[in-house]
Amino acid sequence: MLQGCFRVSSMIGQVLFGINNIYTVSVDGREFKCRIKGKILKTEKKFYNPVAVGDYVELNPDPISEETGWIYQLRERRSSLLRWNKKRKAAQVIAANADLLVCICSVESPPFRPRFIDRLLISGDLGDLLPMVIINKCDLGLTEEISKRLAAYQSMGYQVIRCSAINGQGIAELEQAINKQTAVFAGQSGVGKSHLLNCLEPGLNLKIREVSSKFNRGVHTTNYSVMINLKNGSTLIDTPGIREFELAGLKPEELHHYFRDFLLFAPQCSYYACMHIKEPGCAVRDALEDGKIHPDRYESYLRIYDHLKSFQKEYYGSAYD
């Protein structure tokens, strides 16, 4: 009744960040601190977080405050970066509606972990984001082994950029690759995500780890994801470091489609539905034996496959046996 007098028209905005269930939503450059209205968004049962950074949402501004509002609807996502959240036992949306997934790793502190990159790259292809590899801290010197692995990613068709946030190496190339698109920066804690973002726009001043504080697996400098619109028209999403990146939204039997280095050989496998594990006449395993597929990539495949199998069993019973 009286409430009707206060009814204000709804708006569409994009989520810039969210902390403690309060989401900062930008509507044409104006920011609203919003909560989720009632149970409406709870239809998204698949994910543990109802709204992610980058989401487009419909909201009603609060009639009694110019800076707050209520989110009542989530718009369909054109892309999403997902991970399996072990603690919550559900898929988590890290970021939505981005174009690029910038998978960042470092030469050391933390050490180069190609299996971690393998997972991130798959999550990009899976979530309709274009994945690329950034190796940061190149000022510390690239080893031959790392260079070889990077060359292998390049030969699979991934763009690889060698960077240093300290001496500026690769920053122009990174800027060019982003080129006014929306890019999510993801990787382990301490690889230099925030530092690289600061290089892309002077004055951004994102918090980066003190040089004196040693690399420690438990410590994250960035605690929540945030979307930043740069003056040059690009949009960047900084994310907190991920310790264990586990894939979500993928069935084990679909996994091999996301190993780009298998694709050349898989059509020659004897079995149409070959999983490249124990089947006779497997062209992927032949390529592995001939040194055409890196053994660590194959190991990565087996580990992810086993993981996907085990967690699907946990949630869907024996249907996947």
Ligand X SMILES: Nc1nc2c(ncn2[C@@H]2O[C@H](COP(=O)(O)OP(=O)(O)OP(=O)(O)O)[C@@H](O)[C@H]2O)c(=O)[nH]1
Interaction site with Mg ion (CB under 5 A): 193-194, 221-222
Q: Give the nearest distance from C-beta 207 to ligand X in angstroms.
A: 7
Is residue 80 near ligand X by the rule CB under 6 A?
Answer: no
Q: Rule CB under 6 A: is residue 162 a binding residue for ligand X? A: no
209-219 residues labelled b (16+ CB within 10 A) or e (exposed): beeeeeeeeee
> Which of residues 269, 288, 293, 304 is near Zn ion by CB under 5 A?
269
Reported as half-sphere exposure (CB side, CA atoms, 13 A), residue 105 has a value of 22
Binding string, residues 275-294; x marks residues near Zn ion by CB under 5 A: -x-----x-x----------
Query: Minimal distance in Å, beta carbon 257 to ligand X?
Result: 30
Taking the complex as a whole, how short is the minimal distance between the CB of residue 194 and Mg ion, in angstroms?
3
Question: Which tokens hold the place of 150?
Answer: 């990077």
The alpha carbon torsion through 235, 240, 242, 243 (nearest 10 deg) reads 160
- 306: CB partners within 8 A, 6+ apart: none
284-to-130, 189, 269, 294 alpha-carbon distances in Å: 25, 34, 7, 11
In 3D, which of 44, 62, 58 has the Cα closest to residue 15? 58
Among the listed residues 59, 117, 197, 274, the single contact to Zn ion using CB under 5 A: 274
Q: DSSP states of 215-247 as a string?
A: P-TT--S--S-EEEE-TTS-EEEE----SS---
Q: Which is nearer to ligand X, 71 or 174 (CB)?
A: 174
Question: Does residue 164 belong to the site contacting ligand X (CB under 6 A)?
Answer: yes
Q: Are strands 100-106 and 182-187 parallel, antiparallel or unpaired?
A: parallel
149 binds, options Zn ion, Mg ion, ligand X, none, Cβ within 5 to 8 A by partner type? none
Cβ atoms 222, 194 nearer than 8 A: yes
Which of residues 25 and 274 has its CB atom nearest to Zn ion in the complex?
Answer: 274
Q: Is 318 exposed, middle or buried (0-12, 13-18, 19+ CB in 10 A)?
A: exposed
110 upstream amide cis, omega within 30 of 0: yes
Q: Are 101 and 125 in contact (CB under 8 A)?
A: no
Min dist CB 240 to ligand X, Å, is 5
Site string for ligand X, 195-234 (x = CB under 6 A): x------------xx-x--------xxx------------
Our CB check for ligand X shows the closer of 74 and 103 to be 103
Q: Which does 189 bind (CB under 5 to 8 A by kind): Zn ion, Mg ion, ligand X, none?
A: ligand X
Residue 282 touches which of Zn ion, ligand X, Mg ion, none (Cβ within 5-8 Å per kind): Zn ion
CB closer to ligand X out of 51 and 107: 107
**Which residues contribute to the site for Zn ion (CB under 5 A)?**
269, 274, 276, 282, 284
**Which residues contribute to the site for ligand X (CB under 6 A)?**
136-137, 139-140, 164-166, 189-195, 208-209, 211, 220-222, 240-241
